[in-house]
Amino acid sequence: MGTELYDRGFYINRPFEELNLSSPQDVQAVHQAYVDAGADVITTNTFSISGPQLRKFDVEHQQAAMIRAALDCANRAREGTKVKIALSIGPIGELVEPLGPVSIADARVEYSRVAEAASQDGRFDVYSLETFTNVRELEAAIEGIRSVDPTRPLIASLSLHSSQKELLEEFATTIGGRSDVDALGLNCAVGPSDLFTSMKRLLSLVDKPVICQPNAGSPRQVNGRYFYMTSPDYLGKYAKRYAESGAAAIGGCCGTGPDHIRAVRAAVRMQNSQRVNPSALQFEVRADAAKALPRRPFEERRESDVSRTISSHKKIYSIEVLPPKGTDLTKFMSGIEMMLNKNISFVNVPDGARASSRMGSLHLASLLRHRFGEKLAVIPHFTTRDRNLIALQSDLIGAYVNGVRDVLLVTGDPPKLGNNKEATAVYDIDAIGLTYLTDCLNRGVSPNGESLGLGTSYGIGVACNPTAINPDVEFSRWKYKVESGADFAITQPIFDPETFKRWRDGISKAGFDRPQIVGVWPLVSLRNAEFMANEVPGVSVPKWCIEEMEKAGDDKQEAVKRGVDIARRVIRELEPVCEGFCLSAPLGRVEVALEVIS
């Protein structure tokens, strides 16, 4: 549908679903072309009909009207024929938990709204959930639809590469095991050949009807426009192979025009393939369907320095040291030597703190591991701000090969706070999604279900803020991080011990406790205290701390002494109720952090 509308001169500066209202004759003409080509089922122009997709164009309020208009177009095209109508529903266009910020509950609501509008009209035969890449989102879509329309036939279709075996097996187990799904599908992906490999695997896992709808190959750019290069004849050959292997229905996805469907129909007729009614069939997942890869308990991941130290009932004392802005490591290495001389063996390395460009944390962590070996344990911070999903996975795998064994995963400050305000923030996922991604890598699989063979074995650290302004939101995010695979936390700087005690007590009672390494910031001046209180997101500095630093007046040594005393008080009160401390080196002054724990 999208390719055909694009070829008619409609471009992606508007939602194609809006054409149901503004250019229904063109939508109907596309349907009619497929009916004339011999299609038994046509899919409505509603693939991106969910609220978040329409919100991008500020037309969400027209959702129900677009659905009704889409059904008008399809029904006019099939008039006088036995052609069935499938209501096309694609992903909501935003990442869902645990990889993204949209909760499963919110996703269910989005899909239930689509089903509500469609079922009230009712002029269609089957739901076609297609091109999903996240099984959890697909499950949420099914649940949302079934909460409104429990009986209408439903096809659930996945888009994947043949290398994503674990994702295919999860699909067979999770979606295939549902009694409210009438058929499974594979669609889109790379092209007919690759989808054929996945189809054969899926057929070996389930006894449910399997529907196969490949793209017409991968698009190629020609003179600034994209074209799908697979010929109708080639797709027809694969349609014959699909039918011979047991596909219950065969069609096409991106780039498959009416000529492709005509070729598919001819190939299927030659095979004399048996027609099936998906709603009349049931199936069970076979007993040999794959099981999810297990998560190794944190205490068993002895590669992690944090795990070994905590399992030995020792306190962690780490110092956070900013990487240099350029390539001169003299000051940085001097600080590391000072730490080792004081028997401090952990160092935290921020990743572009305050959105400022500095030496990469993973690269520097690898260098430290190779230079100091087991004498120094490194916890590099790793942010989602600067990397897309591909780069996040590549960097984590590469860092592991280079000796990094613990990471602190953070979302990252927005670029406008830093020294490159014009920089683009990526944020494909947030810290919760990055936690899930890293946990997947630990289990030897990518987030999209592709086997990695040997995986990583990271100790997964996350940030938490016991002094957050909205504690309910902070607890909710903490819960998601734990469920996504977090092993330990490093808190924002704590100046009020009682606040942390309440936080620790709360997460323990709720069953989401994990080792807590308390952040400590030794204040060095009144100005430093005021800056922390007013300009550092997520940090709460009590009034009494400000007043204490005021007493130092202009005496710099006295100010440092008072700041060290405040930090020592925090450590003294919290040492019995936490697993360690991460001290910041204020303004790069490692000696001040060392004085706190000397």
What tokens does 6 get? 């694009």
CB 479 within 8 A of CB 195: no
Q: What dihedral angle (degrees, nearest 10) is formed by the CA atoms of 514, 515, 521, 522? A: 150
Specify the pLDDT at position 354: 83
Give residue 429's pLDDT band: very low, low, confident or very high (50, 70, 90).
confident
Per the listing, tokens 């040594």 go with 557
Distances (CA, A) of 430 to 107, 309, 546: 17, 28, 33
How far apart (Å, rounded) are the C-alpha atoms in residues 310 and 133? 38
What tokens does 252 get? 């096409």
Looking at the predicted structure, is the pLDDT value of residue 290 above 50? no
Separate counts of helices (H) and strands (E) for the chain: 22, 17
CB 597 within 8 A of CB 346: no
Structural domains in the chain, CATH included, are: 2-280 (3.20.20.330), 298-596 (3.20.20.220)
Specify the pLDDT at position 496: 93
Return the closest-CA partner of residue 251 out of 88, 76, 49. 88
CB 516 within 8 A of CB 491: yes
Give the pLDDT mean for 186-212. Answer: 92
Looking at the predicted structure, is the pLDDT value of residue 40 above 90? yes
Give residue 226's pLDDT band: very low, low, confident or very high (50, 70, 90).
low
- Strands (DSSP E) contained in 465-569 are 488-493, 516-520
What tokens does 114 get? 């689509």
Specify the pLDDT at position 283: 29
Q: Mean of the per-residue pLDDT values for the chain?
A: 90
Per the listing, tokens 């006088």 go with 80
Give the pLDDT mean for 269-282. Answer: 46
pLDDT digits (tens, 9 = 90+) for 163-196: 899 999 999 999 999 999 999 999 987 889 899 9
Angle, in degrees to the nearest 10, between helices 361-372 and 389-401: 10
Specify the pLDDT at position 225: 59
Specify the pLDDT at position 410: 96
How far apart (Å, rounded) are the C-alpha atoms in residues 156 and 473? 33
pLDDT digits (tens, 9 = 90+) for 102-153: 889 999 999 999 999 999 999 999 999 999 999 999 999 999 999 999 999 9
Residues 6+ apart with CB under 8 A from 311: 299, 302
pLDDT digits (tens, 9 = 90+) for 292-303: 468 899 999 999
Give residue 274's pLDDT band: very low, low, confident or very high (50, 70, 90).
very low
pTM listed for this prediction: 0.72
Looking at the predicted structure, is the pLDDT value of residue 593 above 80? yes
pLDDT digits (tens, 9 = 90+) for 320-332: 999 999 999 999 9
Specify the pLDDT at position 278: 36
Looking at the predicted structure, is the pLDDT value of residue 289 above 60? no
Specify the pLDDT at position 293: 64
Distances (CA, A) of 32 to 18, 23, 215, 249: 19, 15, 20, 20
Give the pLDDT mean for 78-96. Answer: 94
What's the maximum distance between 2 C-alpha atoms anywhere in the chain?
A: 93
Specify the pLDDT at position 2: 87
When mean pLDDT is compared across 185-199, 301-315, 569-583, the lowest value belongs to 185-199
Give the pLDDT mean for 86-106. Answer: 90
For residue 500, give the H/E element and its range. Answer: helix 497-509
Looking at the predicted structure, is the pLDDT value of residue 447 above 90? no
For residue 41, give the H/E element and its range. Answer: strand 41-43
Return the closest-CA partner of residue 328 out of 588, 592, 595. 588
**Please, what's the b/e burial string for 191-224 (b: 16 or more CB within 10 A of its CB; e: otherwise)?**
bbebbbbbbbebbebbebbbbbbbbbbeeeeeee
Give residue 376's pLDDT band: very low, low, confident or very high (50, 70, 90).
very high
